[in-house]
Amino acid sequence: MRVLLVEDDESIAEPLVDGLARYGIVADHVATGAAALAAPPTDMVLLDLGLPDIDGIEVCRRLRRDGDIPLIMLTARGDETDRVLGLELGADDYLPKPFSVRELVARMRAVDRRTRPSAEVPVRTHGPLSIDTRTREVRLHRIPVSLSPKEYDLLLLLAADPGAVVARRHILDTIWGPSFFGPGKTLDFHVASLRRKLGDAGWIENRRGVGFRLVVQA
């Protein structure tokens, strides 16, 4: 993976570039917003909000206007307004300073999984259940099933490997992001709702304390 690191503090940027290299990630470093906007395309942008020329929020806005490159905001700002605004503008995650390289890499991988284009067959069929990844439509016995975005993402994740148990933490990191710290029953609520809509609780099996798996029904 090759990423663009936008950070004006050399004392932060240099060790971060070296740390990412240990994980096989090449980081091209620039220190200003103007340089970030002029940089060639990369796989991901790591964007500091406190830049000397253009505010990081504005850089985020312009990058999102010109494309959909994955973007993680890195900042010492503690203002919730900045975090919310950045995420609403399209940032994929937000990591406050100070942070460890290990945590950053984990978040980068989670964002990459969520945003990577799929080259798979667009319609997945599991017994009477079909999932169209182009239209995000789900059908059971050829009858449409209306799912919320999170319910669809949950079903798609479990259907990627039917029968395999997917860990709770992996599900939360993949669908809600590693920065999610919402109610502990959020995942259980979505599983219960998805089971109801599929009409048979047997579609999703709970392995207590571990995770969930999709069990194809006849």
Range of the domain at 42: 2-115
Domain of residue 106, CATH code: 3.40.50.2300
The per-residue pLDDT for 23 is 87
Domain's final residue, options 97, 115, 133: 115
Look up tokens 């991988």; give the residue.
109
Domain of residue 142, CATH code: 1.10.10.10
Residues 110 and 20 in one domain: yes
List per-residue pLDDT tens for the chain, 218 residues long: 899 999 999 999 999 999 999 888 999 999 999 999 999 989 999 999 889 999 888 998 898 887 778 999 888 765 666 667 767 777 888 888 888 998 899 889 888 877 776 555 688 899 999 999 888 999 999 999 999 989 999 999 999 888 888 998 888 888 887 766 666 688 999 999 999 999 999 999 999 888 999 999 87
Domain's final residue, options 115, 135, 151: 115
The per-residue pLDDT for 183 is 64
Residues 109 and 140 in one domain: no
* Whole-structure pTM value: 0.55
Q: How many angstroms separate the CA atoms of 171 and 161, rounded?
A: 13
The per-residue pLDDT for 121 is 64
Residues 62 and 42 in one domain: yes
Residues 134 and 175 in one domain: yes
Residues 43 and 139 in one domain: no
- Separation in Å, CA 55 to CA 33, 58, 99: 7, 5, 21
Q: Give me the DSSP letters along 107-149.
A: HHHHHHHHHSPP-S-SEEEETTEEEETTTTEEEETTEEE---H
Provide the domain count of the chain.
2
The per-residue pLDDT for 109 is 87
Residues 88 and 105 in one domain: yes
- Separation in Å, CA 6 to CA 96, 137, 215: 15, 38, 45
The per-residue pLDDT for 137 is 93
Residues 27 and 52 in one domain: yes
Residues 55 and 99 in one domain: yes
Domain's final residue, options 93, 115, 137: 115
